Every structure is written in C-alpha cells, then in structure tokens.
A and B are shown apart, each in its own frame.
Chain A
C-alpha cells in the first residue's frame, strides 16, 4: 500500500506570496492532519480534517487554512507568507481520528523556504 504523499517536496516563495501544499493520504484513510516543524518551535499541530470537515485547529493565525476533498486528499494554504513560515510541513493520515487510538502515518513533508 502506498504511503502518504506530499507535493511539492520543496518550495521557495517570497514574503507576501501565498502557497498551497497538497497531501494524499494512504488509501482508505479518512483523517488527515497537518503539522509544522521548525527548529525553534518543534512539531506543532495545524489542523485535522475528517470527512471533508475540519475537526480541530491548532493555535495558528487565520493565514493558515486547509480543506479536504471527497477522496480524502487535503490541501493547506498559507496566505501572505512571512519569513517565520519557513518550515517543514508534515501531513499525517489515519483511518479514523485520533480519538479511537488510531496511529497517524506521516508523509515526507514539504519544505517551504520564505525569502
């Protein structure tokens, strides 16, 4: 079974631009979560989607948004990019949400550099 895939793998943007990252979960997985990883803040939860609905949201500004499609693929969007948005963005999928003790499986990440 193919793992979680994320595209693109690398991105370079300039301040003020916007960016869209894509995540395809493992086949059959309906829950998708996004995390931001930086050297200073570590791994931080962005949001979780299940059945096309955002279930949970982390403590990030409204510039960070996401959505999930009927095939469970998910996208996240960051508008008005700031230098501090430079990070590795990780997508994780699971069959169901965490509440059931599910395991989240992570993709390779998208490394975003904001100049």
Chain B
C-alpha cells in the first residue's frame, strides 16, 4: 500500500533562516506528490506538486521541494523563513491501489518560525 511519512511533529526555525520539512514516501510506480499548508481553522492550501519532470519543484509563497527517487523523499524547503510561514504542513501522495484513487496524507509537521 502507498504511504507517506513526516518524521518530525514540529520544526522550529528562526526568521530569516532556511527551513526544511521532511517527507518520505512509499509507492509502487511513479509517485504523484503534493504539499499542502493548513492555517488555524482553515482548510488546506495547495503549495506545490511533483508529477514528472524536474526534480526541483517551485511552488507558492517561495516554497520549493526536491523529489529524490533514490531516497524516496520529497522535502519541502524555503531559503528564508517568515513568521507568517508558521502553520501545519502536510505531505500527500496519490494512492491508486485497490481500485481507488485518493490522496494519502502524512501526519503533518507543525512549523514554528520565531522572530
């Protein structure tokens, strides 16, 4: 079965420093990978996705992610963190097994950016 793991419950970073939120996946076949962000009492906002092509994907709000097939990872990165980036981040993978087609989400990583 397809799965996605976010090994860190929380990531703390100082404003202006680079940030990384980790995600690893397990899929059969070519993965469709996504990053979403959730602010308090809000739905999920799409940041970026990898379907095929360049391993470095650029998304909204200055975020980017690097697809690494050999390490089965899709880490989210930003060169310079903002306090307003503080939120809950979810990695997701498309699951097309067992005659279904849905997103499977990681458990989420809370990013805290300190001024």
Contact = CB atoms under 8 A, between A and B. Distances in A.
A18 to B, nearest CB: 24
Interface residues of A, number: 26
Contact of A98 (B41, B94, B107): B94
Contacts of A45: 100, 102-104
A88 B107 CA distance: 15
Q: Is the interface of A mostly helix, strand, loop or mixed?
A: strand
Nearest to A50: B101
A56 interface: yes
A99 interface: yes
Interface stretch (A64-72, A73-81, A101-109): A101-109
B49 interface: yes
B108 A103 contact: no
A32 to B, nearest CB: 12
B90 A98 contact: no
Interface string B84-115: 00000010101010011111111110000000
Given A43-B105, A98-B101, A99-B96, 13 more contacts: A6-B43, A35-B103, A56-B102, A57-B100, A98-B32, A101-B32, A101-B49, A105-B46, A106-B43, A106-B44, A107-B43, A108-B42, A111-B41
